[in-house]
Chains A and B, each alone.
Chain A
Amino acid sequence: MSVDVIMPQMGESVAEGTLVKWLKQVGEKIERDEPLFEISTDKVDAEIPSPAEGILLEILVPEGETVPINTVVARIAAEEEAGVKPAPAAPAAPESEPVSATAQTKPADVTPVEGPKAAAAPASGRVTPIEEKERARVSPLVRKIAEEHGVDPTLVRGTGTGGRVTKKDILKYIVAKRTAPLTQAAPAVQAPSPPGPPPITFAGDERVIREPMSIMRKKIAEHMVMSGRTSAHVCTVFEVDMSNVVKRRDALKAEFEREGVKLTYLPFIIQAVVRGLKEVPIMNASIEGDSILYKRDINIGIAVALDWGLIVPVIKHADQMNLLGLARAAVDLADRARTKRLSVEEVQDGTFTITNPGVYGSLFGAPIISQPQVGIMDVGAITKRPVVVDDAIAIRPMVYISLSFDHRLIDGAVADQFMVVVKRDLQKPQKCD
């Protein structure tokens, strides 16, 4: 027997609806409650689920037509009806979730948010033939979905029995794939600097405004208190003559610009810190229970201030990068931190942190350690100061660098040994590069 599909009444005062789109074609199998078509009334688009399970027999109202409510728009052959064979394309798996990508007519040059093109384009050319033995892992349904979306099902990690790729796995993979290019696609121009803390306006006789803390604020608060409770913070301050760094930077600036990278002082400081961590490896360690964990990787966290908080992206394997690589990584991570495009991994596994409040004019500070690390170095403002050089007064670009270290693990002499290496590296003459 067949079931009539009618234009539903989407509200008391709604007398008609425009059928904008069929989500199934004649001959396709449909589950009960699976979206069958889309309608539009003023300002609202609605997806209408199928009233029954079966095969779509007939479409009576074409896309674009407006019909009164209760008009029969389609017929569905109920599943048990004899003689009706599911179309070969029919979903075989028991799950009823639809593959959501749907085609749309679109004005030229407009990027659709979804649609098979958007999904397939980034993957085009990457479809590789499925090996015979791989076919066993992939059901015909999954293969069909994969083909429709131009993805290679063998690249999908299967969670089904024996590592089989289930429909869920492939859909998840497609969504993830589609998401990635979309997030990157947004041009940098449209990512404005983060909004500042909103100006507080007190309405009427309001004396106090209560606002819940953001999650980020809460996390920072918790971490800072936890760190203060965990580590025995001690701070030591060194003064560094930056003349040679200034010279090295001036010499390299133009060359870096040709590479498209703005060279700041930060990469030199990272390099110096890396040197320090290599020579004093306990500064790159952490405490776990009663053990000391020494780490081979040198992953430098760079604190980035945001108007809405603070985030510490991590330059992984900083010891394996040259100045250009460090400069690139620092600029890239800071940019993406400010536009909230960091991935979770990019803020994890730091082994030491550098904070650079000098850019805001701070001379030196006593920062709180990012756990479970044992040190954080603060770089103050580089300013020209009168200093005594060979018993004469000279003008030199000077900076204070301060180190907060965890006295549970690091004694003052060791911390200062580290700082001496950092200072020596920063003050080394140009020809050492």
Chain B
Amino acid sequence: MIRCSAYDLGCVPYREAFILQRRMVEKLQSGSGEEALILLEHPHVITLGRSASADSLLSDPASLKERGVDVIETDRGGDATYHGPGQLVGYPIFKLEPERRDIRKYVSDIELALIRALADFGIEAGRQTGKRGVWIQRKKIASVGIRISRWVTCHGFALNVNTDLSYFEFINPCGITGCEMTSMQRELGVPISMASVKRQAVERLSEIFDREIVHGVHSNEITAFAE
């Protein structure tokens, strides 16, 4: 079984996490690194994927900055999304085996892992035809945006655990106008322990991707990877 380390990084600014991911991807591509699953939260930030358009932002970047929300253009697939405290962000850095080299299947597998993890908390979630992400009826609870390079994956998913959903009002989430967002907290009516969600996410991703995901070193030298 492929061994993969889970890194629980706490709250990390988007740019730093981006640099870390890129390093891990480069290492894995060159054969010197190992697979990783990065778990973290970001400070308030709106990221624009490759398919983002002018309509994706419902507020101008300057006034967003005033509210402490950074806007960053990034190189994953998908449209605009919001990340912030209370949202579990997972970045699997996997080198997909030949039988897994199907980008749609990869996205579906991520969705499936999240659906199962949500079920562990008694939340019944699923997919919506023609749309990516994880949904509870018409409300979206998790988003997916991926980049693949030489079959090494980066970027990943964002699951609303205790997210302040009002921040989604700044964007058209994933380019879907009027798309309503939800969170585990909203569904269950109580704040959910981030640690327990991470635990279930790791367990379900291990199961679906057939990997032994073990807790790696928790990098407190966050400054070290940003050089």
Contacts and interface: CB of A to CB of B under 8 A. Distances in A.
Contact of A10 (B41, B72, B74, B102): B102
Contacts of B44: 190
Interface residues of B toward A: which range?
35 or more
B103 A214 contact: no
A113 interface: yes
Given A40-B77, A47-B150, A214-B218, A187 B68 contact: yes
Interface in A132-187: 175-176, 179-180, 182-183, 185-187
A45 B25 CA distance: 14
B227 interface: yes
Interface string A14-34: 100000100000000000010
A416 interface: no
| Interface residue SS majority, chain A | loop
B65 to A, nearest CB: 7
Q: With a 10 A CB-CB cut-off, give which of A20, A45, A189, A211 has the most chain B CB atoms.
A: A45
B73 A106 contact: yes
A186 B11 contact: no
A168 to B, nearest CB: 12
B15 A190 contact: no
A189 B223 CA distance: 18
A40 B153 CA distance: 14
Interface of A: 10-14, 20, 33, 35, 40-47, 49, 97, 100, 104, 106-107, 109-114, 175-176, 179-180, 182-183, 185-187, 189-192, 194-195, 198-201, 203, 209, 211-212, 214-216, 219, 308-309, 340-344
28 contacts: A10-B101, A11-B105, A14-B102, A20-B50, A40-B51, A42-B77, A43-B77, A46-B147, A46-B149, A104-B73, A107-B73, A109-B71, A111-B71, A113-B73, A182-B16, A186-B13, A187-B70, A189-B68, A192-B85, A195-B194, A201-B196, A203-B120, A215-B217, A215-B218, A215-B220, A308-B10, A308-B220, A340-B222
Given A47-B147, A47-B149, A183-B15, 14 more contacts: A11-B101, A40-B51, A43-B145, A45-B76, A45-B146, A49-B150, A100-B22, A114-B75, A186-B43, A190-B43, A195-B194, A209-B196, A308-B220, A340-B222
| Nearest 9 CB-CB pairings of A with B | A11-B102, A47-B149, A216-B220, A214-B218, A189-B68, A190-B43, A45-B77, A46-B148, A109-B61
